């Protein structure tokens, strides 16, 4: 099942470290090559000799054990197809999220550009700590959340390492399941910025997190990804930085012909200032100021019309077009009206009035509508999970 794949297993200093011996056996039985790297504290729970016998490879611990002039953290990052950190302690997760590289494992994680699975395990109060949760969701990795139950510390709650089968299955999925191979996916994200003068602008609260999650997952699923965004993003796929609605329209139109799917997750401003002042507008004695606004192009509607005009009658049309709908009231009614007016294949409706899933949140809850009247609700989950489910629906 995993023949020809190299899996890098990172073990940190938690009581669940002993369970990873069986995970290594599972990988070996699937014909994978297994490399193991431990934090120094992990060896308080499982021995180096045991891990070496199971993996049939030396176990790396020290950061500066350099062989053949090839630094360990770079050579391990280059050799492995995937990195699995389990159990992942709160300490290690927080270090990785902040880019801290104070041991071999965290240094490898910083240099690793391929899929990474994080399987946390810790005390339930540590898991629920808001600072830790913020650190956890900064990372664009596959997070396999812990399970609830009796913990080694004597507490009852969420913090147990998830099942080894879940870790194994996710590893297989990421290494072998590439349903978007050969597809060009274009995704927009972030809120557009419409200048008033050199120092002021009109925009919105969009963080771009949902679009970024969609782009990351599409890449993991094998797609050729282009992310058109108003945010500063550094990724291994193609990122096009834009500012205004007109900039975004131009970038989307440029990608249209060669795209298999366009997902319009950006929050595009409906209006822009008619005349941008070339100099900073000075405060006057007047209590009011008037700005004349003009409508921005409806990018989603325009590309849907372009698709319809370019599609031969009776034949499947391309690209697949997915819109987003951010509403603060009457979510489904407004979404149904919008998908009818725009003409897109799917429309994803968000309720931005809820603080737990609104702008800037790491979580979302959406309803996916299709052009044939179908509807599927995705319950609240982190945005990467939601992104994965969206691709299952639109390519189901």
Active site residues: 153
Q: The tokens of 308 are what?
A: 């319809």
| Distance of alpha carbon 33 from alpha carbon 29, whole angstroms | 10
Q: How many residues does the chain have?
A: 396
Residue 261 β-bridge partners = 185, 320
3-class DSSP string for the chain? CCCCCEEEEEECCCHHHHHHHHHHHHHHHCCCEEEEEECHHHHHCCCHHHHHHHHCCCEECCCCCCECCECHHHHHHHHCCEEEEEEECHHHHHHHHCCCCCCHHHHHHHHCCCCEEEEECCCHHHHHCHHHHHHHCCCCCEECCCEEEECCCCCEEEEECCCHHHHHHHHHHHHHCCCCCCCEEEEEECECCEECCCCCEECCCCCCHHHHHHHHHHHHCCCEEEEEECCCCCCCCEEEECCCHHHHHHHHHHHHCCCCEEEECCECCCEEECCCCCCCCCCCCCCCCCCCEEECCCHHHHHHHHHHHHCCCCCCCCCEEEEEEEECCCHHHHHHHHHHHHCCCEEEEEECCCCCCCCCCCEEEEEEEECCCCEEEEEEEEHHHHHHHHHHHHCC
- The CA distances from residue 28 to 5, 9, 105, 165, 210, in Å, are 10, 12, 21, 14, 36
The torsion angles phi and psi of 253, rounded to 5 degrees, stand at -60, -35
Hunting for tokens 């590439």 — which residue is that? 178
CB 60 within 8 A of CB 36: yes
| Distance of alpha carbon 12 from alpha carbon 121, whole angstroms | 10
């Amino acid at each position: 099942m995993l023949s020809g794949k190299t899996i890098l297993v990172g073990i940190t200093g938690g009581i669940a470290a002993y369970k990873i011996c069986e995970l290594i056996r599972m990988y070996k039985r699937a014909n994978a090559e297994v490399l193991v790297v431990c934090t120094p504290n992990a060896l308080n729970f499982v021995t180096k000799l045991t891990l070496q016998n199971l993996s049939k490879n030396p176990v790396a611990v020290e950061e500066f054990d350099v062989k053949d002039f090839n630094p360990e953290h770079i050579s391990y990052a280059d050799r492995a197809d995937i990195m699995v950190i389990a159990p992942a302690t709160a300490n290690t997760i927080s270090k990785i999220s902040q880019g801290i590289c104070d041991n071999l494992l965290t240094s490898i994680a910083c240099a690793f550009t391929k899929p990474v699975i994080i399987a946390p395990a810790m005390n339930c109060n540590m898991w629920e700590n808001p600072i830790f949760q913020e650190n956890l969701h900064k990372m664009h990795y596959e997070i396999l959340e812990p399970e609830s139950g009796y913990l080694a510390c004597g507490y009852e709650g969420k913090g147990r390492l998830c099942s080894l089968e879940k870790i194994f299955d996710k590893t297989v999925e990421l290494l072998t399941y590439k349903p978007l191979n050969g597809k060009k996916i274009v995704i927009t994200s972030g809120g557009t910025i419409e200048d008033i003068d050199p120092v002021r602008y009109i925009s919105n609260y969009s963080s771009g997190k949902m679009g970024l999650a969609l782009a990351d997952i599409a890449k993991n699923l094998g797609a050729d990804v282009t992310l058109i965004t108003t945010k500063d993003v550094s990724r291994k796929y193609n990122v096009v930085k834009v500012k205004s609605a007109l900039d975004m329209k131009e970038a989307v139109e440029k990608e249209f012909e060669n795209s298999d799917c366009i997902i319009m997750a950006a929050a595009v401003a409906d209006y822009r200032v008619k005349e941008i002042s070339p100099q900073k507008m000075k405060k006057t004695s007047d209590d009011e100021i008037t700005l004349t606004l003009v409508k921005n192009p409806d990018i989603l509607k325009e590309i849907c019309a372009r698709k319809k005009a370019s599609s031969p009658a009776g034949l499947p049309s391309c690209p697949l077009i997915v819109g987003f709908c951010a509403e603060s009231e009457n979510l489904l009614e407004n979404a149904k009206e919008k998908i009818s007016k725009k003409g897109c294949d799917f429309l994803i409706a968000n309720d931005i009035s809820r603080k737990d899933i609104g702008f800037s949140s790491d979580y979302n809850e959406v309803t996916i509508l299709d052009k044939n009247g179908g509807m599927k609700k995705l319950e609240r989950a982190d945005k990467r999970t939601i992104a994965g489910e969206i691709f299952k629906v639109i390519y189901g």
